[in-house]
Structure 1
Amino acid sequence: MQAGLLKPVEGDRLLNDVLGGRSTEAALRDTAGAFLACFPRQDRFRACNALSLLLRDDLAGLLGGPQRVAAYFILSIVHCENKQPETSYLYHNPFYRLLAKLVLSKDTPAVERAAIHRILVSGYTNEIQSATPVALLDYSARSAPAITACDPAKLSSSITFEPEPGVRFWRDIGNKGAKRAGNFSNASSQHARSAPGGRSLEAPGGREVPWNLSSETIEEALRAPLLPSRQQDLISRIKAQPHSDPQFTRELCGFDSTCLPLLVENNPPVAVELLRKVLGAGQLQDLMLEYFAALVGMEMSVHAMEVFKALICDSSIPTDITNLYITNCIAKCHGVKDTYMQNRLVRLLSVFLQSLVRSKSAQLRDMVIEIQSFCIEFSRVKEAATLFRMLKTIEQA
């Protein structure tokens, strides 16, 4: 496992205790239960990230077909508050996007596409939970031709669950999101006024809550860069939000994790302030994990790296997440076949890492060897060679 993800003993638990030989014949619910027993709540995000990386880059062939199916089932349910897709809590799962992408990608083996599709659309009935990975693979082998031949739009629709009424989801902003915005305004104002348990968070005398984020404000921030004055106003409203109040819920934040990439790309300073505030709220840690998953899963961009740098420099973000982001970026550089595009991504990552080195960030300590290997492999790119010299200079000092 990569540094900063799982310790060796944790990696052994994942491969042996959870996905060992017995998992191929065990019911999927039992394997998922073993995962939950092996990894306490605070460690599950790291374990799931390690699992997703292993599924993507299992060059050593550590996982057989049945074990991969069991791993996909684990990723599908671990972060779900409710296992019924029709109530859309699957949208809260930070690994939903990864699983959906695998179903839609023609690069994914057909049998795996069919197996993941079956898991996502099953409703997590007793039938699917009691199935063994081997049995699910047998079923998937029979249904794989139908999945392969299915119209992409219909396939996508079959795994895109509508969110529960009154909850804002901005995954499709720019498509369905604009049409739904009006439906959210009433729910938004209601959430902004009332907290669970009947405790009011509204300003005395019925005045407008100064930190209330209307659906129009949210949509504006997700659609395009705001003018500096509007951006500063939104930052001020987020700063004023009482995130430390135990009654302050994820709905009151205004931004669901599925919309975070759009906020990062269009208004990175706003995204930085939002992440800082949520990081300091103990009751919002589940939302924070979803934010981290969305950040790590973003395409490489200047704005995404700008947000990461701001959080790294003020030590807001855990080292594990920094390491995972860098590891993912390096993997993306390796995965690009087009030389021009590959060189562009290598330059982007190298300049980002140079800025962290100059800021003397302690968070790079665990990743030095991997970063140096990256620099050597892409030494033809001037920025990577410069980064390597910077690291060597620090090492010798």
Structure 2
Amino acid sequence: MNTLEDQLTNVLDRRGADVDVDDRLEAIVERTNVIRFEVSRPRRWNRRLLPAAAAVALLAVGGVAVTQLGGGDEARDDGTATQPDVPEGGDVLPRPLSAVDSLAVDEWVIPTRLPDGFEFQYAADTSTVDERSQMMLYGIGASQIEQIVLNVRSGGKLSTGDVLVVDGSEWTVSGGVVGRIASRSVGDAVITIGGMTATDAELTDFLAGLVVVDDGGLPSAPILFIESLTDVGVFEVGEREFTVKADGSNGWFCTALVIDEGWGGGCASFFDPSDHVEAFQSAGSEYAEGGSEFLTNTDGMASAATASVEVDWIDGTTTSVAPQNTSDRFPDVRFWATGTTIELEPGQTAEQLADIETVVEVRAYGADGSLLATSRDGTLTVE
């Protein structure tokens, strides 16, 4: 299995870039799971994130709007904050990035000029005590197909490429018009922007519009991943007890499944409660070397109106789970996790099952037993 860094580096290589990659950046951008299960028994764990169905697009109002969807409870002010114009400078935030020599721990870099159709999606703070790692993501509505990722990381490395001077500051730029990567140092931090489709003039305009704000100046509070996630439910899956943790902002969510041996998680998914169910937030498996059983599990989100979630598996079994939210956050959102043990057929190996999708269909039901929504083959149908 490739490491997380290998996978994101491969993606960036296809875009003509050679950059140093933070594994937490990859976990968010590539939606691959951070694998940190350490099991002393001779068993293998596999966790992977799967694409989630895009739901309601965010609305742009005079710039980049923060629309409170999915029960996210961290939107600033009244949920209609827009990004600032480029300021003149001085000691008061926001300040133009070109006027800044270093970044305080609570300061962020955000754009004020976005390509047509792009808007703020979410911010994520994956910093540790020893390392700063902040991300801002921008896209078209809730789509993850094309995203601009702005990463600020302490101790990072600059990309290799041509030098582009913007307002007296040198940026290193690589890639063609599609999938451009730009980076520069500010104090002990490296700022990297990836995923842009832009000419030199468009990229220059974007970089000239970068400003520095404190965390109170973000369009929406950052998602904290992974140590600061909130407990939202406990679920029995086979002989395992999973604690589900989550954080969310602006309708985007990160989740993690925690067991005694460790945790596995990743982000991010956009969820609108009117869809009733978000399936395939992640998928995982556990199996013993040479064993005859394969424990597979999946998890996701649901609306407050969803009383139960049923999952059909490839072996013909169906499991049912009642979604939970044991926290005082995200009042319109519930979380769920379920799984089943599949008996291996003669000649079949657990490794073969680990590489395929074991979920056939996911259904959400109301308290009266009515079908609310169905997710199958990546398509969500709301009744």
TM-score bracket for the superposition, by shorter chain length: under 0.3
More strand by share: 2
TM-score under structure 2 normalisation? 0.27
What TM-score do you get using the length of structure 1 for normalisation? Answer: 0.26
Greater helix fraction, Structure 1 or Structure 2: 1
